[in-house]
Structure 1
Amino acid sequence: MRINTLALAAVAAPAAVMAWGDVGHRTVGYLAAKYLSPGAIELYGSLLANDQGFDISDAATWADTIKQKMPWSSPYHYINPVFDDPPNNCNVTWPSDCPEKKGCVVSAIVNYTSIVLDRSSSHIDRKNATMFLLHLIGDLHQPLHVTGYKTGGNDVEPICWNHEPPETGGSCGGRLNLHSVWDTRIPHKLRGLPTSLDNPAEKVAAATWAEDLFARQQRTTAISECDRIDAGAECILGWARESNALVCDAVLARGEDWILSNDLSDEYFEENKHVVDDQIGKAGVRLAAWLNAIAVVAPPDDSKEPEMVGGGGDL
């Protein structure tokens, strides 16, 4: 069911590094909004209501903005399979690949789902849990957030992109690493965007991308969903393994030596742009199905509290 974009959550200034970048996360949020059920619209409109005009795309970026104030949440954005050796071997082993004390993206989604479902939890806790879900399900579809290889590709550098000159030594690309290529460079080039945008421009770009994805999804085979919110990590682990497989099949398919020796804005971009487009599309559809399933069980919360835990901003 298609709906108008919701005005939802207030956020702080964005952090320096974000999975998918703001444009990707905003697109996931906008796309999910098009599939929300009436019950989900009521629930999340109640939980995330604000008077500052922040919308669902702002809610989808919030979890990155509070990493410094809530450092314990950083491990929730990824899972690092111990035995990853792309392109030869990619696999997620559960639960051994998720540190019990620190947690990971899979366990975080399970835990935050349970908080939103728990009507005895405070309004603030359910609000923050909802915003974590909006963000982390997006993270789970970024392949380099689901690999233990060289800190999710952050240590695969320096990368050449558009023959950029070195910034601080090294070869073409300077400080640019493989993770950043997948977070922002491929998505931005795919959508014809500059390297950086201000928030209003990000929202326009993301809303347009979501519209394109939604239109194409109406004409193609449905994306496989999983809304078993009562089945622990079952659905989430399936998505994680799918993303992890892409590290071998796409991200590092040519091997690290080739990646460090070529301009990735050329042939590499052409080979992988559809992977980014597909993953953003899947994330939006699956996020909506997950949120809709929660809304069936958890009715709206009419209570309101003044601000979000972690200094996320005033409502």
Structure 2
Amino acid sequence: MKRFLLIILPVILLSSFALIKSSSKKDSKIISDIKNTKKIIDAEVLEAKVDNKIKAVSVDGSFPFDVSKVKDLEFNLIILKNAGVRIPSSPYKTDYKALKSLEKNIKEIEKVNMNYIIDVTSGPGFSSDGNISSIFTNDTEALYFSKMLCEIIKRHSNSKYFKGIMLDLENTNVLEENYYNTTKYIIEKVQKNYPDVKILLSLYPLSFENNFQNILVPKLSNVTLNGVVYFKGMSYPGYAAGYKTSLKLNKNILLSNLQTFKEFSDRNNYDMIITVKIPWTEKSDILLQDIFEISKMLHLNINIYNINSLDDYDFSQNKDVLKIIERNNK
């Protein structure tokens, strides 16, 4: 009997080890499959985040533009600059020419299934040429401006391609505090009627020149902050002329400024976008490439100004800039 046990026991043990090893292999395979599945899911989530990144372009509604060209460059959002549908001076009548232009341009954009935001450049108390800016001291005009925005939103709020309104009252002669008091008043009036409509608020025009320090933006909901990198002229790397000052300019300075803006936005729970508004002259493609690289590092959305104004701020004729855009939008 003892001899039988001595013979059969090793066989049982070997069989048990084989079962354990087989089970272990299966468990390892299951664990490996789970890890691989997680990697695939993580990659898909990351890809989705990349796909959701805003790649916007400003289009000047007062000039003809080719929507198919915008789409070919793989932008996923058009910021349509258009005069307001009310004239700036009292009695703030409907501007039928601006209204007709707006509706025509939006029809063309929707025809190619593109998302858009309407950037209203004028209205009661404010003209885009800077001659009228009484809106900053006149609450009645600010109220009429908000009503005009509501008129525009009402016309397009049912469109799946309509993604919001941009408020960009560009005026460097008004105090920053007044700028934000007025824009806050307008935004809150609009949101009483359309709380779910996204509003892009351009920061005070001198924000970049002030290195995005001490931004006075009040607490607002459902608002995306638009930080404008604006130059009248530049030599890159080197120096640039802003609205009021000359400033040193290189990639490290761009990174520092944009990082400060991002930290402010994150701290105050704002989404953000950067608008690059520069003359597309010599070496502007190098600056744009640096901004693209910084945007990937900081996870920033970008709006490039613009594609059809037929002046130095129109990048469509600069082949080097077009190559940078094509490379980075893919």
Fold similarity call, TM over 0.5: no
Give me the TM-score of the superposition, normalised by structure 1.
0.27
Larger relative contact order, structure 1 or 2 (CA cutoff 8 Å, min sep 6): 1
Give me the TM-score of the superposition, normalised by structure 2.
0.26
